[in-house]
């Protein structure tokens, strides 16, 4: 069953759409950095793509990741729908729609920590991982919040708390007040249990007990200091190849998206600890069942074609498709060729108007920087513009 999170707004609220993106460090944009996600595109990409949008037009992203398109639409004052098969992506994206005050997030976290049942604490497999990743009290508190949110996570405050927790679940240790709950780990991806334990042993790193409520409070006050006006929106955690998009009422004028780059199949394993927090197993999940197929080039193209066709069916004539796409260098594939073949196979009216290299973004980091392939082995990225005829 797909998980759906919708956020509605009161009729009285009339959001003022943003015409220009402020500096990325502006409090209004902090929500964008709530939690990292592999291969997210820069906020300026969907925001600029929506420059010609008009009030009331709906925006769609069938591979929404952490919801960058959803946030850009909200900033532009446009309603949106995002779909992603990765529950971590769905959870982060849903928090991009939340209209909450930091004090509400703290109040909910405090209530849960005081009242909720602790529930099970992971011990196997990888017992040493769990012992070394979190101090025992910190892990119990994380589990209290996790177990509560697994039972109910539908209100805007619950959705925002889950986003905050995903953002602080793991990351580097700092010398001052700890920002992250874990032992030393990157914040972008979760290290696998074996390598993590070996690293902590080698460096003699033991987990520090963290005041979870304080860490939540600080992150919530930072990320939700100023949020854009609330907007209608929906995030659906499901497979875009099979979910019936027509079940959702709107007809879309804009599709702004970035499908998995060809060869990029590790969205679940790379986020395995966050995946555990949102209800996944206590272990790395290597299944890629609900991701576009990477078994062969032909299957990938067919999967993509399926999504373009289903998307066209719920778009208005004249709708725009704006897409950033690439292929990992190890695959030695031309992303233009893969993309053009997928649209040709879809035979559904999307006509490409422009394809250009995405390489010279003047607005912050390129998306491929997230792959960590290094300057000598760059991912080739393209931006495709198409119109529905
Ligand atoms: C390049 S990322 C999108 C990143 C997004 N633009 C952002 O800024 O966060 C591609 C996404 O497609 C999702 N995905 C892969 N196969 C999918 C499928 N069959 N249905 C829905 N989402 C899928 C992945 O989970 C991943 O989050």
Encode pLDDT of 267-283 as tens digits. 888 899 999 999 999 99
Structure tokens at 384: 């495709």
Q: Is the pLDDT of residue 371 over 70?
A: no
**Dihedral pair phi/psi, residue 252, rounded to 5°:** -95, 145
Give me the chain's average pLDDT, please. 89
Quote the percentage of the chain above a pLDDT of 90.
72
Per-residue pLDDT, 2:
60
Per-residue pLDDT band for 3 (boundaries 50, 70, 90) equals low
Q: Render the burial of 172-194: b for 16+ CB within 10 Å, e for the rest.
A: eeeeeebbbbbbbbebbbbbbbe
Q: Kindly tell me if the per-residue pLDDT of 366 is higher than 90.
A: no
pLDDT bucket at 378, cuts 50 / 70 / 90: low
d(CA 151, CA 123): 21
**Ligand 1 close to Cβ of residue 241 (< 6 A):** yes
How far apart CA 310 and CA 244 sit, in angstroms, is 8
Determine which residue's CA is closest to atom 5 belonging to ligand 1: 65
Question: Given this model, what pLDDT does residue 8 score?
Answer: 57
Sign of the torsion formed by the C-alpha atoms of 68, 185, 269 and 215: negative
The CB density around residue 17, as the number of other CB atoms within 10 Å, is: 17
Write out pLDDT tens, residues 42-89. Answer: 999 999 999 999 999 999 999 999 999 999 999 999 999 999 999 999
Kindly report the pTM of this predicted structure: 0.93
Per DSSP, the three-state class of 345 is: helix
Give the mutation target among 65, 323, 369 for probing the ligand 1 site: most ligand atoms within 8 A of CB: 65
**132, exposed or middle or buried, with CB in 10 Å at 0-12, 13-18, 19+?**
buried
Please check whether residue 322 is in contact with residue 49, taking contact to mean a CB–CB distance below 8 angstroms: yes
Domain 3-96+234-388: assigned CATH number:
3.40.50.150
Instruction: Out of 67, 85, 92, 241, give the residue to mutate to test ligand 1, the one with the largest number of ligand atoms within 8 Å of its CB.
Output: 85
**Sequence-separated (6 or more) residues with CB below 8 Å from residue 212:** 109, 113, 138, 141, 142, 145, 181
85 Cβ inside 6 Å of ligand 1: yes
Could you tell me if 264 and 291 are in contact, meaning their C-beta atoms sit under 8 angstroms apart?
no
Q: Give the pLDDT confidence score for residue 353 in this predicted structure.
A: 97
Q: Is 93 in the pocket of ligand 1 (CB under 6 A)?
A: no
Smallest Cα–Cα separation from 211: which of 362, 106, 75?
106
The C-alpha atoms of residue 178 and residue 212 are separated, in whole angstroms, by: 10
331 Cα–ligand 1 center, Å: 19
Lowest-confidence region among 107-111, 199-203, 290-294 = 290-294
| DSSP-based three-state secondary structure for 130 | helix
Cβ count near 37 (within 10 Å): 24
The helix (run of H) or strand (run of E) holding residue 212 is: helix 212-223
Helical packing angle, 212-223 and 102-115, nearest 10°: 160
Instruction: Categorize the per-residue pLDDT at 377 as very low, low, confident or very high, splitting at 50, 70 and 90.
Output: low
Nearest to 162 by CA among 5, 277, 38: 277
Q: How confident is the model at residue 115 (pLDDT cuts 50, 70, 90)?
A: confident
β-bridge pairing 350-357 and 380-388: antiparallel
- Indicate if the pLDDT at residue 256 is higher than 80: yes
Give which of 100, 50, 86, 54 is closest to 71, Cα–Cα. 50
The alpha carbon of 258 and the centre of ligand 1 are apart by a number of angstroms equal to 7
Arithmetic mean of pLDDT, 306-312: 97
Distance 210 CA to ligand 1 centre (A): 32
Provide long-range contacts, Cβ within 8 A and 24+ apart, for 131-136. Answer: 131/207, 132/183, 132/196, 132/197, 132/200, 132/201, 132/205, 132/206, 132/207, 133/170, 133/182, 133/183, 133/185, 133/196, 133/207, 133/273, 134/181, 134/182, 134/183, 134/207, 135/207, 135/208, 135/209, 135/210
Of all residues in the chain, what percent carry a pLDDT higher than 70?
91
The pLDDT-based confidence of 364 (bands split at 50, 70, 90) is very low
Q: What is the pLDDT of residue 362?
A: 36
How far apart are the C-alpha atoms of 71 and 67, rounded to whole Å? 6
Q: How far is the CA of 368 from the centre of ligand 1 (A)?
A: 14
Residue 3, SS3 per DSSP: strand
Question: Domain extents for the chain?
Answer: 3-96+234-388, 102-223
C-alpha separations of 337 from 295, 303, 333 in Å: 18, 15, 8
């Amino acid at each position: 069953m797909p998980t759906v999170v919708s956020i509605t707004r009161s009729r009285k609220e009339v959001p003022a759409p943003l015409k220009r993106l402020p500096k990325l460090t502006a409090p209004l944009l902090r929500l964008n950095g709530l939690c990292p996600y592999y291969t997210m595109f820069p906020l300026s990409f969907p925001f600029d793509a929506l420059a010609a949008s008009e009030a009331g037009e709906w925006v769609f992203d069938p591979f929404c990741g952490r919801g960058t398109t959803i946030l850009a639409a909200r900033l532009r004052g446009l309603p949106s729908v995002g779909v992603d098969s990765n529950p971590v992506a769905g959870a982060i994206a849903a928090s991009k729609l939340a209209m909450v005050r930091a004090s509400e997030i703290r109040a909910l976290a405090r209530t849960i920590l005081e009242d909720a049942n602790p529930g099970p604490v992971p011990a196997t497999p990888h017992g040493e991982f769990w012992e070394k990743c979190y101090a025992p009290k910190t892990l119990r508190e994380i589990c209290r919040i996790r177990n509560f949110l697994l039972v109910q996570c539908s209100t805007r405050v619950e959705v925002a708390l889950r986003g905050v927790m995903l953002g602080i679940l793991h990351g580097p240790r700092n010398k001052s007040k700890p920002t992250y709950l874990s032992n030393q780990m990157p914040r972008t991806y979760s290290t696998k249990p074996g390598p993590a334990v070996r690293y902590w042993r080698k460096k003699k790193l033991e987990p520090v007990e963290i005041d979870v409520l304080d860490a939540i409070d600080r992150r919530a006050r930072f990320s939700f200091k100023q949020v854009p006006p609330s907007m209608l929106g929906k995030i659906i955690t499901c497979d875009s190849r099979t979910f019936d998009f027509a079940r959702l009422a709107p007809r879309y004028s804009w599709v702004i998206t970035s499908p998995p780059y060809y060869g990029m199949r590790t969205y679940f394993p790379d986020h395995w600890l966050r995946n555990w927090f949102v209800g996944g197993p206590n272990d790395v999940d290597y299944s890629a069942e609900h991701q576009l197929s990477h078994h062969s080039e032909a299957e990938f193209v067919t999967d993509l074609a399926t999504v373009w066709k289903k998307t066209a069916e719920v778009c208005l004539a004249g709708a725009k498709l704006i897409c950033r796409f690439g292929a990992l260098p190890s695959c030695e594939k031309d992303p233009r060729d893969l993309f053009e073949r997928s649209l040709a196979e879809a035979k559904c009216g999307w006509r490409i108007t422009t394809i250009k290299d995405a390489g010279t973004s003047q607005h912050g980091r390129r998306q491929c920087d997230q792959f960590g392939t290094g300057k000598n082995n760059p991912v080739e990225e393209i931006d495709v513009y198409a119109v529905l005829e």
